[in-house]
Chains A and B, each alone.
Chain A
């Protein structure tokens, strides 16, 4: 046989691997779900899922763990995705947070994130009895992620034990679990930020416009540019929203997500800016700054 076949490119290899992971998880779990945060990684993961099961409908619902504090444009894309009609979208808001109006301003970012996101996620998983949940985390995001497996077991209390991880050999994943345990599955484990952007460009995947630069009203607070996305944001004395050309490298709750000044209005511009930039992606997230090992701690407690 001749070897004139083109060798797969790195994106083709990544795509095939992610599809393989998703199929393995779906074939062996009873009630899977895909966490959908509306960010760019979620967008890529959803696109890959459609490819994995084509021409079938997605064999699992999407779950958006909502905090009510996401950017308005995120809700718009989420609703448009749900309206496409080829999938089921579940939205969960922690009822305790709704009742107590938990927000980052009065309760602080740590409580806000813990109650809306970590607790909300656990509630939703328990409520629907999901036994496997796809997440869009990448190993290049953060040091503790680099050692997490693609298939990660969580106890009935949703805790992660880094010492009890199963070895993953070849392309074989041990997806067996005991009653009460569940799986977190990370199909994008081997993707880098650059791969994600490159793939979005190649596949023309729709993403939230906030990733592109535009004039937006922002205030500078603790060194971060925070967008005033709605009237719920209390302005401090002397703060005056200013229209600046900014964009976001990661998306979350708008009061907790720092913008960067930018003029990148196309995908190509974004990639160019990313390659020439000198700060890492997660810097825009307030939660990581607590301590060096903060993400590891959060994950042990059940953060995705």
Chain B
């Protein structure tokens, strides 16, 4: 497996020719702390001559200092990275390593074996073509072997190597090996792993890594490297139907409009009929543009720019798909969800969901069940904690194109993002949709945003005024609407009190009711903005999460958050409706600012300090903002 030093020295041109045509395989290694995983990877790097003399010197020093192999080289030290974990002696994150052989370049995701790190293994597995599952020959198939295998299967890795390691410590016994393989095979079938190749080896000694070992004369299968070099991985992607999520609209001038993205499956050629989803418009591929010239064909894995024969409205997040084999479009799904957040999942709270290049808002129902990764037992649960895996229903705020994860990882996998911390808190794999979205989503509506805009003479907008009770929202809103009306804008004022007399009369002031209040108002505001209006929404709306949800639903370019900033003592002093007095007397529960929190906006489009600005000046500022954003001219 080593770089053929002779060829490099004698005929570098030929060597480079070969190297240039290598393919790539990405794999993960899974095993527990003591299975010799880091040793295996360290050994692969060492054998492929990727360890240099200075690193080797450091390795020798380190081996003597903190090594666990006595006088021998501790290969594990080559791969254990961050300072904190070097001291702990364990790998705590996903690390990526690189080595290459005559045939292939390899990217290894080194994933930890510790129970609490399901998150990391799922991450490493999501990009792997193959998994190497290590088993200590002395211990056989353990709970963690099953756990790793289940995750491998869940993440859709089709090729598995069962590396029965440390065979030197059981006298290279064929009986031990056969027993482990037999134990594992039944389990692997159960969880749908079909392609399993078992290899007896010792990473420490080097048996059956690159060359057949004389210690295992009874074994006639491939060596680890031999197998990694030859396993076929690309066929499924190429034979799947063409899909390309649009990443970026490439528009250098008025004459060129291309759609840039990475093809995630299939093949595309000029002339192919393609459909744009979710809009449903159809056209044919005109050119496949790259800096190296137009292509006659592009295949899965390539990043290209496609132009279409017809002028169609396409934006980031849309998916181009071959017209005769389309993905489904839906807004409700059943999916496996792996929870990765420190805080547990909150059913019904809006999360952001990224699927392909599209970001939507998602609500997750109470899980149907969670899966115990050790026993595969399903148990009832109300939520998912860090590293738990469950089956949930998700509902998106709009229909998205998708394939089941089993058919296509890239159009069937998604991540969940907490809207406040922006952390990635979950990953999911779509099993199937719950119902096809109504055909109305496939219908192309001819009177669209642009048409309304042309008729109205201005763009739609939602102006969201948030602030304490008595901060001056209603006064400003009223003044602002008069000004906008005078300027010829089509407006509508949604006011907290008025809405609570009608649409939301059934809601109180508990935290849950406040969330629902704002959710309904947001939907109404969105409909009105869809109809082309400038909507002034004047609501205390105390929680950031709900205001951010409103921004997402309406769309950032049509949403302006205006923070009517009045200190509570000033607002209480004004107390136009006498509410603060009531709240202070204990006659009003859950009053914002008194016994219910107000979370001020972190980055509003506009902040109005009502202690120094009059309602007229505030209106001026908001009108100025609308002009700057091109809503009105």
B-contacting residues of A (Cβ < 8 Å)? 1, 3, 5, 7-17, 19-20, 23-24, 26-27, 50-57, 139-140, 143-144, 146-147, 162, 164-172, 174, 176-179, 189-190, 192, 194-195, 198, 201-202, 268-269, 271-272, 275-280, 283, 292-293, 296-297
Contacts and interface: CB of A to CB of B under 8 A. Distances in A.
A26 B248 CA distance: 8
A14 B23 CA distance: 11
A271 B357 CA distance: 38
B322 to A, nearest CB: 10
Given A9-B23, A172-B413, A192-B100, 4 more contacts: A10-B100, A166-B423, A171-B264, A268-B16
Contact of A178 (B80, B234, B602): B602
A1 B82 contact: no
Interface residues of B, number: 87
A144 B22 contact: no
A51 B22 contact: no
Nearest to B413: A170
A202 B20 contact: yes
B22 A10 contact: yes
B61 to A, nearest CB: 10
B303 A167 contact: no
B126 A169 contact: yes
B97 to A, nearest CB: 7
Interface of B: 3, 5, 8-9, 12-13, 15-16, 19-24, 52-55, 58, 79-84, 86, 93-98, 100, 104-105, 107, 119-120, 122-123, 126-127, 234-235, 238-239, 247-248, 250-252, 256, 258, 260-262, 264, 267, 289-292, 297, 299, 301-303, 305, 316, 340, 352, 354, 356-357, 409-410, 413-415, 417, 421-424, 427, 602-603
Given A3-B238, A57-B252, A167-B123, A174 B267 contact: no
Nearest to B419: A176
B52 A279 contact: yes
B129 to A, nearest CB: 11
Contacts of B239: 1, 3
Contacts of B105: 10, 192, 195
Given A170-B126, A198-B16, A12 B302 contact: yes
Q: Which 3 A-B pairs have the closest CB atoms?
A: A293-B83, A19-B303, A10-B24
Grouping DSSP codes into helix (H, G, I), strand (E, B) and loop, the B interface class, with mixed when no group exceeds half, is mixed
Contact of A176 (B21, B417, B602): B417
A5 B84 CA distance: 46
Contact of B83 (A20, A169, A202, A296): A296
Contacts of A178: 421-422, 602
A216 B19 CA distance: 32
A10 B104 contact: yes
Contacts of B127: 169-171
Contacts of A162: 82, 84, 93
9 contacts: A5-B299, A19-B262, A19-B303, A53-B248, A169-B424, A170-B126, A268-B16, A275-B3, A275-B5
For A170, A171, A189, A280, the residue with the greatest tally of chain B CB atoms inside 10 Å of its CB is A170
A143 B413 contact: no
Contacts of A279: 52-54
B506 to A, nearest CB: 34
Given A10-B24, A271-B16, A147 B94 contact: yes
Given A19-B303, A27-B316, A174 B52 contact: no
A169 to B, nearest CB: 4
Given A147-B93, A170-B410, A292 B424 contact: no
A169 B123 contact: yes
A170 B355 CA distance: 10
Contact of B54 (A7, A280, A297): A280
